[in-house]
Structure 1
Amino acid sequence: MRKPSPVIDVARRTLQIEAAALTNLIDTIDARFEASVTAIYACEGRVIVTGIGKTALVGKKIVATLNSTGTPATFLHAADAIHGDIGMVQPNDIVLAISRSGETAELKMLALLTRQLGNPLIAMVSRPDCSLGQSADYLLLAPFDREADPNELAPTTSTTLQMALGDAVATSLLALRGFSPEDFARYHPGGSLGKQMYLRVSDLYPHNQQPVVRPSTSLQETVLEMTAKCLGATAVLEEGSDRLAGIVTDGDLRRLLSSTTNLVRVTAAKMMTATPKTVHKDTLAIRALATLRQHSITQLPVVGDEGEYLGFLHLHDLVREGLV
């Protein structure tokens, strides 16, 4: 029988303590929370988030989340603030100060300076009766019974709650602003999430060659066109037109060779897939990917507003962009 592991026991106990504290945090979301979020929403400047020690690190994460969801925010270290950097706080800004005890000397001094400047102050603290909480205009409460480490000293439960409460503020603001997936994409244009919202087929297919044959094109010429353009397929356009009659893929060639011995008179028309799946040039790339997956294919002919053939979108294009 396996002996109990103190490592596993401590790890599980840590998560149990923090999970219980997070569950209890739900009950603190009340009128005070709503007032704090409403004040930030009404703010015409930035949210100046401040803290010291571990809460400074939490503050930086909250700033990043706020900025990425449409609420302008910046971080101000509490120690730097009382040594000159308080000058970065402008008249229209609102200050969010994070502290476990609410009694840290630097944050108490910063609260005094903030009030002298006339800026609204939100305190994220564990107790409403602490000095920082008493001096604040708004309260975000993150109460907890104990830290999760065995000695009940290291900031663990408290910072977990602060981080979660910051997420709750950011997502509440997101809902108030009507922040859409398209808005999110504008703030994350370089990531795969952003690309899902803005990258379109028209951004990808022009990089590929445009293989074309006609229905009367011979088997040999069709194979040469597919080989030269390196896409594993070619469009078959109607005679004298730029509209698709069908496509010929590597799979079509294999099926032809397995079922026919007389290849002399074979033309593109005899081996093509008529009325193939297509994609409009303005379709989101992520939707084109869904079509490829649904039909277990690797390329799609791209068409324009009048149904004209423009080129091919290949699965590799989507892989290259990190969508797969």
Structure 2
Amino acid sequence: MNRTSQIIEVAKQTIKTESEAIANLVNLVDNEFAHAVETIYNSKGRVVITGIGKSANIATKIVATLNSTGTPAIFMHAADAIHGDLGTILKDDVVICISKSGNTPEIKVLVPLIKSRGNKLLAITSNKESFLGVQANYVMHAYAEKEACPNNLAPTTSTTAQLVVGDALAMALLDLRGFSSKDFARFHPGGSLGKKLYLRVSDLTSLNSKPQVTPDTDVRKVIVEISEKLLGVTAVVENNKIVGIITDGDLRRMLTREENIKGLTAKDIMTANPKKIHNDAMAVEAMELMDKNGITQILAEENGVYCGVVHIHNLTKEGII
């Protein structure tokens, strides 16, 4: 077997081993898992997640997922906990301890300390019969028969299983809380995902100038309006209502077609009944409408009154695209 084939084979075997372990987790979700979820849901405190080694890395990711989906959580390293950080845990907090074996020295020291404080202790472990598994109030079983590592040493399958169980926990809590897309946006106001859920057309039109001419505006003044407003477009407005649109492309086509532009007005070159969007619509809807129609600007209106322009550059700048 040449090197390329060997690389491909190892990669495929790794994915196969881990995917089989993940598929098996479906059979391990039981009443204890449900009780663990209910314990967190009914708690008045936070979720404190702890672990050591690679399990600690998984713990930080689960903390991030919980925080972003409505369940307050913090990370506490198991080694630091027994050297002063135990004070991180407050009276009403629920503690989740993550460990593949459930028998590491740090875990054996930490678990009795947590229980002596009266906090509920949940476990994510591959071994339900371990010290951690037996001492925990409820176990979320993250069984992994073998690591993807050929020496069965490097945490690979086991940490993947822990991560998946953590995601299952977070999604179960999300469902119980009725956590919606609007809630998600409140927790992610600065990210592109959040902006897709809360940014409206009005937020963008307010940033731009508002180019407009009347149907009888001379073409020369139309050119000036488009140039000065720097959006490559102008609305043609009559009685505050949009009756047409003129783009810089329309101007180029006019100049190619007409030898003498004297006497031409906006209504002679405009596109009547252009694509429009409500000023209160979501910005992502403007993006979808532009993409569908192959355009880079769209006019916004509210109650039939012209409000302004959304340019594709606005969407790019805000991270919508």
Same-fold status (TM-score > 0.5): yes
Name the SS of the counterpart of 2:206 in structure 1: helix
Name the SS of the counterpart of 1:309 in structure 2: strand
In structure 1, the residue matched to 2:309 is 312
The alpha carbon displacement at 1:262 in A equals 4.5
**TM-score normalised per structure 2:** 0.95
Name the SS of the counterpart of 1:103 in structure 2: coil
Once the two structures are superposed, what CA deviation does each residue of 1:35-89 show, in whole Å capped at 9, x if it has no partner? 1111111111001101011111111111111111110000111111112211121
Q: Distance in 2 between matches of 1:120 and 1:2?
A: 54
**TM-score normalised per structure 1:** 0.94
In structure 2, the residue matched to 1:251 is 249
The 3 A distance-change label for structure 1 pair 9 and 275 is closer
Name the SS of the counterpart of 1:224 in structure 2: helix
In structure 2, the residue matched to 1:211 is 211
In structure 2, the residue matched to 1:295 is 293
Question: Size of the alignment, in residue pairs?
Answer: 321
Name the SS of the counterpart of 2:122 in structure 1: strand
Q: Distance in 1 between matches of 2:4 and 2:209?
A: 63
Name the SS of the counterpart of 1:207 in structure 2: coil
- Unpaired runs of at least 5, structure 2: none
Once the two structures are superposed, what CA deviation does each residue of 1:94-149 show, in whole Å capped at 9, x if it has no partner? 11001111111211222111111111110111121111111110011111221111
The alpha carbon displacement at 1:242 in A equals 2.2
The 3 A distance-change label for structure 1 pair 3 and 290 is closer
In structure 2, the residue matched to 1:108 is 108
Q: How does 1:1-324 map onto structure 2 within 5 Å?
A: 5-238=5-238, 241-304=239-302, 306-324=303-321
Once the two structures are superposed, what CA deviation does each residue of 1:178-228 show, in whole Å capped at 9, x if it has no partner? 111111111111111111001111111222222221111111111121122
Q: Distance in 2 between matches of 1:244 and 1:6?
A: 64
Q: Distance in 1 between matches of 2:265 and 2:202?
A: 31
- Give the stretch that moved more between structures: 115-124 or 271-280: 271-280
Q: Distance in 2 between matches of 1:217 and 1:58?
A: 64
Q: Distance in 1 between matches of 2:260 and 2:82?
A: 89
Specify the code of the residue in structure 2 equivalent to 1:123.
A
The alpha carbon displacement at 1:5 in A equals 3.3
| Aligned-residue RMSD, C-alpha | 1.6
Q: Distance in 1 between matches of 2:284 and 2:4?
A: 48
